[in-house]
Chains A and B, each alone.
Chain A
């Protein structure tokens, strides 16, 4: 006869095995969020779980600096979550890994997720090689924050709309001898130069992402505008680390313009005194000809291919995509909704500081959809910093960026050509 504790142990094992197959267990969804979103989501989920009593959502918050590697490690280790938030610059990478579930069929059947309601180019960042792999969740784009009072004092009644006007305003507002500059462009951040480059007609990679295209006239124009801002002493050649606390300095008038994204609306509201709140405003990013073209940023919701609960996962995505839920999400966190109808809510419609974002979101452009893009953008900025320091001319810098991009894209070229050869050989 078995001793009593063996029986207990055996019973535990049987229970554990039964637990694996029970319906409760089958509908526990693992949902990874990156950064601050997890806290807000936790407040939205009770309503979802009331609507779907059979689904339990297990939210795991991943800190942003660790997110990318954790997702890749999860993929390599076969332990990806069911649903995840995914920055839309990372989507191409995970689509290349074939880690993401195609969603077009589900969207076609859906009564909630309607493509027409989404900002067109934000939606486009989720389509990789003609396959839809994510649904936009929240969006961002970088534009200009500016000091209304300083511009007015210098004789500008409206924010600049094109580069010529912007240059004039920057010149009028810079007094480098006194440490006062038109704008802060941290030399270690690539997003600013990338936004200017996305305003050009020529893309930054060519031939289906086989080669860098930094030597195009358009990119050189953007790079010249960027570098000239430093050469004319309208921006200090410092990094974000050296810049320290840009919010206070913006408040004190050290910079008249600040080139950043929606999360800084909250920062400025919190950090600047109440009496100074009407001194600043936002405006669409001035372009070579007209304003409002910028980089399409933000995060999407994706389902991983290896998920065993895809129906439940899709239910969660539909819930989080509902306009009323998106509005609550904005109220909780300030993350801007990806669909137009969610912008009709009071908190967004009546806020003058977000209107510029609304305008620009209609015209944002996606970043090049190659998995190597983040690395290429990093290299682009390292070279641009050398041009700012004056060690490279514009032409030399563009050539060097192309050289580095071509080097990074070597494997991609080989694979694309290899696949073409294989496809050509097949009957």
Chain B
């Protein structure tokens, strides 16, 4: 049962790594497509597959993903009402740590990904916000809906949340952060983030 309900949160990255078929393509969908093309190029680049190049490859993946994800928006939403109380420096440190946590655990997996199909189902733009719906068909024939929430800043679309089977990544972290912040302190939250990133598991 545990596994039945919380399947494959990891899969949200796979949307970039499969050959996408486009039903419609607006500006936000195009943004995802460009990133997806770059990542496919890396995944299928044999010169990067050697063990020595592993770090470089991971670095390249992270750089490309950084160009699509707005970590500030991620952080602001994940801290929610605790965000306003933090100083600029605290915010910066938090953004950096949160980015590393998500990247370490999810992006590093990118290299292992193979197979699967992605269909872009829909793109809804309302003002400066957008929702791009996709569906991933895994190699085990399971269909998993993945939605990307995007925000337009200075004319560029950025991803600020990912929904996997209706489960929001940001909300999931918000619940955890909120619980820690209520029970202890912001310093403790930063320490636990650092610990988690260092341990890598």
Q: Do A and B bind each other?
A: no
Interface residues of A (CB under 8 A from B): none
